[in-house]
């Protein structure tokens, strides 16, 4: 009980000092800390002023034979250029963004120690992504796991079949939330709302203010619960 009380006091004193508005997750290709990367490649270039990815990672994100994860976008025939653009932007967002702190969670996986969970994506991003991929094909809903990696790259698992995108993902919501194990959640917020993360942008990165909004809301909820928790802990100690 003393340890619980100590933890509550630490939280109430603001012991969680990690700057979640400017951090990199502990994953396979991420830098330890974000910083300028003036040579970021094409779709990753919006993050050049402050990035968790290196220039080399940004270039590999555009390569069909990328060493990053040996992931084969063309597992059900050649993926259309329009569709692939969104997956490149998605990779850049994941690898380069320094403002994912509120959604970073620990994970026990061989290739990373942290992941993102339930990042709220803007309505336009999910819907445009789905719309541009709706005539493509895939064989799986969850692209994080369940592939046949026997050849060194991902192939459709035995017994699966390639189906039209809209049969596998009937809605933008199903695609955004299922394809990467709930890394993202679909929202009805638009890009102008300040309450959703943009997978891609031009100009100043808008996602820092969004992360700040969610971080502040989470801290307010935590702070409002602390007096009650402290009271219960102290009461238990006095019994």
Q: What is the pLDDT of residues 49-106, one digit of tens each?
A: 898 988 877 777 776 655 567 788 999 999 999 999 999 999 889 889 999 999 998 9
11 belongs to a structural domain: no
Residue 8 resides in a domain: no
CA distance 147 to 70: 12
Q: pLDDT: is 29 or 16 the higher one?
A: 29
Residue 55 lies in a domain: yes
Distances (CA, A) of 218 to 1, 111, 126, 211: 25, 29, 24, 11
Mean pLDDT of the chain: 82
Residue 206 within a domain = yes
State the pTM of this model: 0.80
- Which residues constitute the domain of residue 53? 20-226
Residue 116 tokens, joined: 């993102």
Degrees (nearest 5) of the Cα angle 215, 219, 222? 140
Q: pLDDT tens-digit profile of 116-164?
A: 999 999 999 999 999 999 999 999 999 999 999 998 889 999 999 999 9
Alpha helices in 27-148 (DSSP H): 55-60, 81-96, 123-133
Q: 83 lies in a domain?
A: yes
Token pair recorded at residue 214: 């969610």
In a domain, 129, yes or no: yes
Number of domains observed in the structure of the chain: 1
Domain-located, residue 1: no
139 lies in some domain: yes
């Amino acid at each position: 009980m003393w340890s619980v009380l100590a933890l509550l006091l630490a939280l109430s004193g603001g012991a969680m000092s990690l700057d979640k508005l400017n951090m990199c997750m502990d994953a396979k290709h991420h830098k330890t800390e974000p910083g300028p990367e003036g040579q970021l490649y094409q779709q990753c270039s919006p993050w050049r002023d402050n990035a968790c990815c290196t220039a080399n990672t940004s270039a590999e994100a555009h390569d069909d034979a990328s060493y990053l994860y040996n992931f084969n976008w063309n597992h059900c025939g050649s993926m259309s250029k329009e569709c692939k653009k969104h997956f490149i932007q998605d990779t850049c967002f994941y690898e380069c963004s320094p403002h994912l702190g509120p959604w970073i969670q620990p994970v026990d996986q061989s290739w990373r120690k942290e992941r993102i969970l339930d990042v709220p994506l803007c309505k336009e991003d999910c819907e445009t992504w789905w719309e541009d991929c709706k005539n493509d094909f895939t064989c799986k809903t969850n692209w994080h796991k369940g592939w046949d990696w026997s050849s060194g790259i991902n192939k459709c698992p035995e017994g699966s079949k390639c189906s039209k995108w809209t049969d596998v993902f009937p809605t933008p919501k199903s695609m955004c939330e299922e394809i990467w194990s709930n890394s993202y959640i679909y929202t009805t917020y638009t890009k102008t709302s300040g309450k959703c993360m943009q997978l891609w942008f031009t100009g100043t990165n808008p996602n820092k203010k969004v992360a700040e909004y969610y971080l502040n809301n989470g801290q307010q909820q935590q702070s409002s619960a602390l007096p009650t928790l402290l009271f219960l802990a102290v009461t238990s100690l006095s019994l």
